[in-house]
Structures are given as structure tokens and as C-alpha cells.
Amino acid sequence: CACPHHETVPNHVCTVLPFCTIAPTVGCCKTPAALKMKTDSSDYGRKNDAILVTSFCIPVLCSTNTYCLMPTTICADEASQCFCLGSDCSFPCSKTVPMTVALFGIMCYPEFGCCTSVGKAFPGGVGP
């Protein structure tokens, strides 16, 4: 979901029933790649080949999509954002979500601090 729209969320897609798209083309069990929404198919990452379950879009303002993906972990949510607050979670732990203990800007692990950035806590970076 992105409000306002973000380029990593396929936009201008609308479904009527689960798995049934009506825009930009009519069809069932479509993927962003099958809808040919962008010329560079790598823009959506692993979502590019995932089947769209539900989609909703108000052009330029908001877009949201639900996908049927091949599982890579039990539970994961990466880079969710609402205004200036971002969140990640993963169970079990993954390489792309840093292991931290923090709440309301106070970090207790891997170091103690207030308003510590991910770059400062993980100078070697996060992810593969």
C-alpha cells in the first residue's frame, strides 16, 4: 500500500473479485509482468511474478495490492511506512531485516541509544 503512490507499488491496477483484474486489462490470475505495467520488469522485484489477489488504485494518490507469493519465510513485512515511521519484521530472522530491540526511538540492541539510525547501528549495512 502506498499513499501517495510510490514507484515500487504497481499502480493503475484494479480487481473486482479476488484474482480477477479489470484494469489495466481484464483477466484472472495476472501478474504485474503479465500486465506489462513497466518496461523494466525488475522494478517490482519478486512481486513482478506474483499473482495479484486484490488491487485498488486512485491514480497518483494511493495504491494497494495483495499478492500470492511463494513463501520465503513464515512471516515478513519489509519497509512498511506511514508518514515518517517505517517498520520491518521477519520470523524467523532474515538477512534483509536487521535484528534490533527498539521502541519509540530508544534502541537497546545491538547498541543502546536514542534515535539511532540503522546506518549507525549496522555500519556494514543490512541485507545480502
DSSP-assigned states of every residue in 31-66: -HHHHT--S-GGGGGGGGGSEEEEEEEETTTEEEEE
pTM for this structure? 0.60
Residue 3 has pLDDT above 70, yes or no: no
Tens digit of each residue's pLDDT (9 = 90 or more) over 71-118:
878 888 877 777 778 888 888 888 888 888 998 889 999 999 999 988
Tell me, what's the pLDDT at 38?
A: 60
Weakest mean pLDDT among 15-24, 38-47, 72-81 = 38-47
